[in-house]
């Protein structure tokens, strides 16, 4: 459902009221609900084929749809819908003048639910009719969306009108519109920047979210707030993208783990706990393709615990094998939790408690201690015992539990007759603040909400009277992240968007992502941009796609917004678009491209810095398009350095993503040759005399002066990263590499000599063998370098810098 829960409740109330007047409408809604239970789509993507394979077809402006005819036959909408429900709604709308009937009709034709062919003009008219009868928050919101996006070329864009309708929507209690307005005021999109107002809106939104949070467990929900290009390894494919993936296909991940464990454990009995544990987890939460099944999850965990009991129970769980210890204990904790909350089994707190105790004997886990704390605090077995609860939480906190930090902070807030709403008066206020902050750092979601509250009401003033009050934006960040993590509540249309994507209804999918993009969710902005403007890999055999200017403009807008939310891949892509490398419909604009690359470079993006260097090298830079090898060299060096740093961080975070750096090596080599053949360009700028070595060294000295400055930036971004609950940068990445200057040059020339001699030898051999292929080969060899260079300029989408001639990679350090 598109409306968020609160508005849903309200509209349900209205429904109840209206039911006396409009039975026809109620009947229609009832049948729609039935339809939703039985409706299935035929899917073109599944867990096995989506990765690396997500292809957005050509958009055809004539039919106003993506060209999917060859791929999938269009599904027909169910007859109940077309022959019964829609006529009923139309009748209700026209005869009883029911605004909700109009609004529902608008939704059906805009979203295309149940495979109903969309009709945007009709949808717009229905929404207009709805608000003519009376104010309707949802209809206003949809009108705002229609006018501010123009539905990607269907209507002319009218930003002012769109904003006006969004505003009306917000005034009439529509949470979607409120989120849009919060974001617009925050970033100053179509309205002046107004942080205080925005904070106001976000705080209000967060309150609704918190109410929802209190009755829903998001830890068992799938988060559809994803960037769909991440299925293809990111905007730039696996090797070049620098943003971490948002995709988490748990079942695949668990399978990998299971397999690798099985590889190392040859005796088949020994990894049974692990296998059962991962099976259980897979069903406990589900993912984009596998629905969760608590019954199955319970069965797996139960079997795991049972097995442990059979084998180790008699011996009182002594001498348990190390590996089994971990997984058996984990199974017990999970099973205990299922008993504790009655998931997939009847609630049984005593049983849960017993399992937690048992698991603690095997392995002291944060999870078990935390859950024991919950039982003690809430008095689920006997009277509440706060002292014991605090002790349990603290044991859990020692193991870095986010949950326990939050639970302890909340417990302290409520102890001794204190009220959660007023932590100021609490003598534990400093501890409360401390634990809550720790919970935020450990990525607890609810703690973000509390921290936002604390900062907004100035709690830290109580124990730090001299501290500066936090800035508006720094408070706002907490609420924003809280809202982003609760996308299931704030943006249920994301789930719809994903389901339509998987079914190959790209047009409907785009609507869902675009709404979330308007609401400021960065992953959705990327997804919407991708649906509007997915370029093909360089060597694709498919016919090149064309894009209408409206859609490209819209894609650029979304990319720009994502870029402003620190998506560095989006920043670089914008640079590529404006430097004319993407066969794009926009005119080349080197200045803009340069600016984007510089922004990326300032964020220490290796890829962006590389592009910047290229602009200097090829004279596309800012200063009268002059070639500047010094700056080029400097940025290639930085690019290499950022790359080392990036790899270091990746290694630390156990992520598999690393991208190839051979393109940087190539560029440096190229530059070196340019120097050899064009010394003038290097000495002309008057910054150095001497040989090329000292010329380059001057540059690196200049660069090192700026290192100080960069350190500052580093510490700021680190602080921010901390702020946002992400991890900071690693410290010990490569910084200097002056050693080996001469060695490198020697090696380079040796390499080329060998290469050269080899080729000559080969040529001679071939000449002996026959004269036929002679010319061809020579040409190919000469082209090899050029090909490689051409590749670097087109890094878009999974281009992996294949060198067709030979697989050589030089890893020498720059000077």
| Smallest distance, ligand NAG to C-beta of residue 1, A | 5
Q: Interface with ligand NAG by CB under 6 A: which range of 105-113, 347-355, 442-450, 532-540?
A: 105-113
- Residue 38 as a binder of ligand NAG (CB under 6 A): the answer is yes
In the block, which residue shows the tokens 């409360």?
Answer: 432
Nearest of 544, 734, 712 to residue 643 by alpha carbon:
734
Q: Interface with ligand NAG by CB under 6 A: which range of 33-41, 43-51, 589-597, 631-639?
A: 33-41
Please state the φ and ψ torsions of residue 651, each to the nearest 5 degrees: -60, -40
- Residue 111 as a binder of ligand NAG (CB under 6 A): the answer is yes
CB burial string 115-142: b at 16+ within 10 A, e below = bbebebeebbebbebbbebeebbbbbbb
Choose which of 20, 37, 466, 708 interacts with ligand NAG (CB under 6 A). 37
* Closer residue to ligand NAG (CB): 623 or 746: 623
| Smallest distance, ligand NAG to C-beta of residue 46, A | 17
In the block, which residue shows the tokens 């400093």?
Answer: 430
Query: If you count them, how many residues does the chain have?
Result: 815
Nearest of 570, 567, 520 to residue 186 by alpha carbon:
520
Choose which of 204, 296, 437, 603 interacts with ligand NAG (CB under 6 A). 296
Count how many Cα atoms sit within 13 Å of the Cα of residue 519 in the half-sphere of its side chain: 31
* Closer residue to ligand NAG (CB): 2 or 635: 2
- Residue 40 as a binder of ligand NAG (CB under 6 A): the answer is no
* Closer residue to ligand NAG (CB): 11 or 359: 11
Choose which of 295, 467, 474, 712 interacts with ligand NAG (CB under 6 A). 295
- Residue 9 as a binder of ligand NAG (CB under 6 A): the answer is no
Nearest of 553, 538, 593, 547 to residue 571 by alpha carbon:
593
Neighbours of 72 (CB within 10 A): 13
The region, left, alpha or beta by phi > 0 then psi within -120 to 50, assigned to residue 770 is: left
* Closer residue to ligand NAG (CB): 92 or 584: 92
- Residue 778 as a binder of ligand NAG (CB under 6 A): the answer is no
Count how many Cα atoms sit within 13 Å of the Cα of residue 742 in the half-sphere of its side chain: 1
Outline where DSSP puts E strands in 543-625. none
Of residues 485-524, which lie at the interface with ligand NAG (CB under 6 A)? 493, 496
| Smallest distance, ligand NAG to C-beta of residue 116, A | 9
Q: Interface with ligand NAG by CB under 6 A: which range of 108-116, 271-279, 538-546, 588-596?
A: 108-116
Choose which of 22, 65, 107, 136 interacts with ligand NAG (CB under 6 A). 107
Alpha-carbon span 539 to 561, nearest angstrom? 30
- Residue 623 as a binder of ligand NAG (CB under 6 A): the answer is yes
Per-residue tokens: 467: 């501290």
Give the angle 791-794-795 at the CA atoms, nearest 5°. Answer: 95
What DSSP string describes 12-53? HHHHHHHHTT-HHHHHHHHHHHHHHHH-----S--TTT-TTT
* Closer residue to ligand NAG (CB): 123 or 815: 123
Range list of H helices, 342-471? 349-362, 366-378, 386-398, 402-414, 429-441, 445-457, 460-463
Choose which of 18, 24, 32, 501 interacts with ligand NAG (CB under 6 A). 32
| Smallest distance, ligand NAG to C-beta of residue 133, A | 18
Q: Interface with ligand NAG by CB under 6 A: which range of 43-51, 175-183, 293-301, 592-600?
A: 293-301
- Residue 113 as a binder of ligand NAG (CB under 6 A): the answer is yes
Q: What is the DSSP code (8-state) at residue 83?
A: I
Choose which of 20, 319, 624, 705 interacts with ligand NAG (CB under 6 A). 624
| Smallest distance, ligand NAG to C-beta of residue 262, A | 23
Q: Interface with ligand NAG by CB under 6 A: which range of 103-111, 196-204, 534-542, 629-637?
A: 103-111
* Closer residue to ligand NAG (CB): 687 or 711: 687
Per-residue tokens: 439: 């919970």
* Closer residue to ligand NAG (CB): 3 or 258: 3
- Residue 34 as a binder of ligand NAG (CB under 6 A): the answer is yes
| Contact pattern from residue 446 through residue 485 relative to ligand NAG, giving x for each residue in contact according to CB under 6 A and a dash for the rest | ----------------------------------------
Question: Which residue's Cβ lies closest to ligand NAG?
Answer: 2
Q: Interface with ligand NAG by CB under 6 A: which range of 186-194, 291-299, 634-642, 755-763?
A: 291-299
Alpha-carbon span 643 to 661, nearest angstrom? 7
* Closer residue to ligand NAG (CB): 516 or 815: 516
Angle in degrees, 0-180, between the axes of helices 137-149 and 5-19, rounded to the nearest 10: 130
* Closer residue to ligand NAG (CB): 118 or 241: 118
Choose which of 75, 82, 293, 590 interacts with ligand NAG (CB under 6 A). 293
Of residues 50-79, which lie at the interface with ligand NAG (CB under 6 A)? none
HEC sequence for 243-294: CCCCCCCHHHHHHHHHHHHHHHCCCCCCCHHHHHHHHHHHHHHCCCCCCCCH
| Smallest distance, ligand NAG to C-beta of residue 508, A | 8
Q: Interface with ligand NAG by CB under 6 A: which range of 8-16, 290-298, 641-649, 749-757?
A: 290-298
Host H or E run for residue 633: helix 629-652
Alpha-carbon span 91 to 94, nearest angstrom? 5
Q: Interface with ligand NAG by CB under 6 A: which range of 143-151, 289-297, 449-457, 479-487?
A: 289-297
Alpha-carbon span 354 to 365, nearest angstrom? 15
Alpha-carbon span 545 to 583, nearest angstrom? 9
Binders of ligand NAG: how many residues, by CB under 6 A? 18
Give the angle 146-147-149 at the CA atoms, nearest 5°. Answer: 70
Alpha-carbon span 346 to 338, nearest angstrom? 9
* Closer residue to ligand NAG (CB): 509 or 638: 509
- Residue 127 as a binder of ligand NAG (CB under 6 A): the answer is no
254: CB partners within 8 A, 6+ apart: 278, 279, 281, 282
Per-residue tokens: 567: 């998506």
Q: Interface with ligand NAG by CB under 6 A: which range of 52-60, 104-112, 272-280, 544-552?
A: 104-112
| Smallest distance, ligand NAG to C-beta of residue 766, A | 51
* Under 8 Å between Cβ of 474 and 723: yes
* Closer residue to ligand NAG (CB): 1 or 747: 1
Q: List interacting residues with ligand NAG (CB under 6 A).
A: 1-2, 32, 34, 37-38, 104, 107-108, 111, 113, 293, 295-296, 493, 496, 623-624
């Amino acid at each position: 459902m598109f409306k968020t829960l609160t508005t849903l409740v309200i509209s349900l109330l209205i429904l109840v009221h209206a039911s006396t007047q409009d039975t026809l409408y109620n009947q229609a809604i009832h049948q729609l609900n039935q339809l939703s239970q039985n409706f299935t789509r035929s899917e073109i993507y599944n867990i096995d084929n989506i990765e690396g394979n997500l292809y957005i077809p050509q958009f055809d402006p004539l039919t106003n749809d993506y060209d999917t005819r060859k791929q999938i036959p269009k599904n027909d909408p169910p007859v109940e819908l077309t022959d019964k429900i829609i006529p009923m709604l139309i009748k209700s709308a026209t005869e009883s003048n029911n605004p909700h009937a109009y609004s529902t009709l608008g939704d059906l034709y805009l979203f295309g639910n149940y495979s109903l062919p969309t009709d945007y003009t009709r949808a717009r008219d229905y929404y207009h009719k709805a608000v003519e009868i009376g104010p309707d928050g949802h209809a206003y919101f949809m009108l705002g969306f229609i006018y501010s996006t123009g539905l990607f070329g269907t209507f002319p864009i009218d930003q002012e009108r769109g904003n006006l309708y969004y505003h009306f929507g917000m005034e009439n209690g529509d949470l979607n519109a409120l989120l849009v307005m919060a974001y617009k005021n925050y970033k100053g999109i179509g309205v002046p920047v107004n942080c205080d107002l925005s904070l106001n809106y976000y705080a209000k939104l967060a309150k609704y979210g918190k109410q929802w949070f209190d009755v829903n467990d998001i830890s068992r929900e799938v988060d559809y707030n994803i960037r769909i290009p991440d299925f293809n390894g990111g905007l730039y494919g696996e090797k070049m993208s620098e943003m971490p993936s948002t995709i988490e296909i748990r079942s695949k991940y668990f399978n990998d783990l299971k397999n690798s464990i099985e590889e190392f454990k040859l005796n088949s009995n020994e990894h049974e706990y692990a296998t059962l544990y991962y099976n259980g987890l897979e069903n406990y939460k589900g993912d984009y393709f596998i629905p969760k099944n608590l019954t199955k999850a319970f069965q797996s965990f139960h079997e795991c615990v049972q097995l442990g009991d059979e084998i180790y129970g008699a011996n009182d769980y002594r001498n348990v094998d190390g590996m089994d210890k971990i997984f058996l204990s984990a199974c017990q904790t999970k099973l205990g939790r299922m008993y504790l909350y009655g998931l997939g089994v009847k609630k049984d707190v005593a049983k849960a408690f017993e399992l937690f105790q048992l698991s603690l004997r095997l392995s002291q886990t944060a999870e078990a201690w935390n859950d024991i704390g919950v039982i003690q605090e809430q008095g689920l077995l006997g009277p509440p015992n706060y002292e014991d609860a605090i002790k349990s939480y603290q044991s859990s906190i020692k193991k870095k539990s986010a949950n326990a930090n939050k639970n302890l902070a909340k417990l302290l807030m409520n102890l001794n007759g204190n009220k959660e709403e007023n932590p100021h008066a609490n003598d534990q206020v400093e501890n409360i603040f401390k634990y809550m902050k720790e919970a935020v750092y450990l990525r607890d979601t609810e703690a973000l909400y509390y921290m936002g509250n604390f900062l907004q009401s100035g709690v830290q003033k109580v124990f730090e009277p001299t501290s500066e009050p936090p800035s508006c934006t720094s408070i706002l960040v907490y609420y924003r992240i809280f809202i982003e993590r609760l996308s299931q509540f704030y943006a249920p249309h994301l789930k719809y968007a994903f389901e339509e994507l998987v079914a190959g209804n790209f047009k409907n999918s785009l609507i869902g992502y675009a709404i979330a993009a308007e609401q400021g969710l960065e992953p959705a902005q990327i997804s919407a941009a991708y649906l509007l403007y997915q370029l093909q890999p360089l060597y694709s055999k498919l016919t090149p796609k064309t894009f209408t200017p409206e859609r490209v403009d819209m894609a650029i807008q979304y990319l720009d917004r994502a870029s402003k939310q620190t998506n560095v891949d989006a920043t670089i892509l914008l640079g590529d678009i404006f430097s004319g490398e993407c066969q794009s419909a926009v005119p080349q604009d080197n200045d803009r491209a340069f600016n984007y690359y510089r922004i990326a470079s300032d964020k220490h993006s290796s890829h962006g810095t590389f592009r910047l260097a290229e602009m200097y090298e090829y004279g596309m830079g800012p200063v009268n398009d002059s070639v500047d090898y010094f700056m080029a060299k400097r940025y290639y060096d930085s690019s290499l350095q950022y790359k080392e740093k990036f790899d270091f961080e990746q290694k630390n975070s156990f992520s598999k993503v690393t991208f190839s750096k051979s393109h940087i090596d190539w560029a440096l080599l190229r530059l070196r040759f340019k120097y050899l053949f064009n010394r003038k360009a290097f000495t002309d700028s008057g910054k150095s005399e001497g040989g090329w070595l000292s010329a380059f060294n001057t540059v690196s000295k200049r660069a090192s002066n700026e290192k100080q400055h960069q350190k500052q930036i580093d510490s700021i971004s680190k602080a921010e990263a901390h702020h946002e609950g992400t991890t900071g940068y690693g410290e010990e990445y490569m910084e200097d590499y002056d050693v080996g200057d001469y060695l490198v040059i020697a090696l380079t020339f040796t390499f080329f000599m060998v290469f050269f001699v080899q080729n000559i030898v080969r040529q001679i051999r071939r000449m002996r063998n026959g004269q036929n292929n002679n010319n061809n080969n020579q040409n190919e060899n000469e082209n090899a370098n050029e090909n490689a260079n051409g590749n670097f300029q087109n890094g878009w989408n999974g281009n992996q810098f294949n060198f067709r001639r030979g697989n050589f990679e030089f890893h020498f350090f720059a000077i």
